[in-house]
Amino acid sequence: MRHICVARSFVDTNVFFYAVDARDPAKQKRATDLIADLARSGEGVVSTQVIQEFANVGMKKLDFTPEETLMLSEGFADHKIVQLDLALIGSALRLMTGASLSFWDACIVAAAVQAGCKILYTEDLSSGQRFGDLRVSNPFL
């Protein structure tokens, strides 16, 4: 069954990585369907951190050239992009203490909260975990 997204949703780097990684066809299909649904609905959100991580992982693990990485990264324009700034980093640092998150996970959660997202798609946090109105969902379960 295909999930149709209706709520503003933040997509973590791992979802984008699976969309371009053919080593797991089931995860690749799920990731591409989710990303496409969010792009069509206009409810997809990423942060500059996600884009940077995607570029780094793509070049290191999948041997993408900078040109291929740039071409693939242009797809992020279909989503709202949250810029990491000092206020967001401050929110992330407070989350680290309050929610026992790593700095990078806290930056993802803080960006999703700042953008008013209801869902955070990731496999890096516990599915069902909540941060106020934000709910974590692992799209690969």
Per the CB < 8 A criterion, the answer to whether 3 and 44 are in contact is no
8 Å CB contact between 107 and 92: yes
Instruction: List domains and CATH numbers for the chain.
Output: 9-137 (3.40.50.1010)
CA distance 117 to 50: 15
Say what the pLDDT of residue 1 is: 45
Q: What is the mean pLDDT of residues 55-80?
A: 94
pLDDT at 2 over 70: no
Average pLDDT over the chain reads 94
Q: What is the pLDDT confidence band of residue 7, given thresholds at 50, 70 and 90?
A: confident
pLDDT for 6? 62
Give me the torsion for CA of 37, 133, 96, 94, rounded to 10°.
120
Name the token pair of 113. 């909260």
